[in-house]
Structure 1
Amino acid sequence: MQLTDQELIHAIRLGNEPAFEAVFRQHYASLCQYARTFLHDWDDAEEAVQAVFLAIWEKRDSLEITVSLKSYLYRSVHNRCLNRIRHLSVQAEHREQAVYEVELYQSSSEAPMQSLIADELSDRLKVAIQRLPEQCRLIFSMSRFEEMKYQEIADQLGLSIKTVENQIGKALRILRTELADYLPILLTMLFLN
């Protein structure tokens, strides 16, 4: 006998592993295909789908689904993929910044003035990071220096992924403002090389 969506949801809410496994087996492959249309990487797509199912199981006690189970799963995977895309773009931006800093450092070894400016910028960056609000600084450091994923940070600190994203955005805005007076100098240095 086939259970309805509401019966399956109720069974999962009660911790019924066979019901959860049945939903997993029924939807996993198609959800991975769907996630892959966003992420273009099979491993990332599988990770996103697995994270959705893990979140459902971990929060099964408070599971409230008002739409069809299939719609809920697809919407959850969609949101997870968008979060992953945002995270990857921030990582790429960070990587570009790191490459830029390495290039700046390498070129600074040729010119003492550039080395002095790079050192000063590094010091200002450290001071600016220390001025961030405590939670903002902690989340930013975990993301940038420990290279943790947003979900990992959220899980470790007991926060929502949205809070982590907001705190990272806040940190980047503050740092941009704090270091804004260095932008003209950095641009000048780039064009002089």
Structure 2
Amino acid sequence: MVASFFYIRGCYFKERQMKHEEEDIIDLLKKGNVACVKMLFDNYYRALCVFALRFLNSFEDAEDVVQEVFVNFWEKKKGCEFSGSLRSFLFGAVNKAALYHLRNSDRMVFEGLETHLNQLMEEEMPESDEDIALRKQKLFREIEALPEKCREVFVAIVLENLSYKEVAEKLNVSVNTVKTHYSRALKQLREHLDIIALLFFSIKK
């Protein structure tokens, strides 16, 4: 696979690869080894939070939904055989959990949500590589237009792969401040959330 780079504010960033192979995670899951939960978190947590935010108004709600999905997944699947794609399963579970949350809170974000087909739940993206590249270029232009602090936090979390704590230490602010700036950035980039989530995965060429 040829490495893909993108340019933002005078810096080049390399698209990240998955930290852990799905086969390794599934093997640990079958053995009932809780280490697989940390591996799932490393691979999918941030992308799933961005995905959940497409349905929810609050980033805190998105995090709660994803964390609940992780807990339920471990409790129901530990020690069991698992077949198929973990990525597809988790995105589908988050989709259902977000809908359930919305029904209970009575805060529907848009009409026809239950029939909305999200591209990230598909094994293959329906868009061409060229279409995705063009959408990413538009996203990067809008990232550059973010308020300075929001942009710094967004770039650090999504493109530099830093944790909230690491970003807080880097910028000398609190973790809550980091989360606030990150949430604001995601809301401003709301129409690009599917592409942002894709940045957490290597894209097949």
TM-score normalised by length of structure 1: 0.41
- Specify which structure has the bigger relative contact order, considering alpha-carbon pairs within 8 angstroms and separated by 6 or more residues: 2
Larger Rg, first or second structure (1 or 2): 1
TM-score normalised by length of structure 2: 0.39
More helix by share: 1
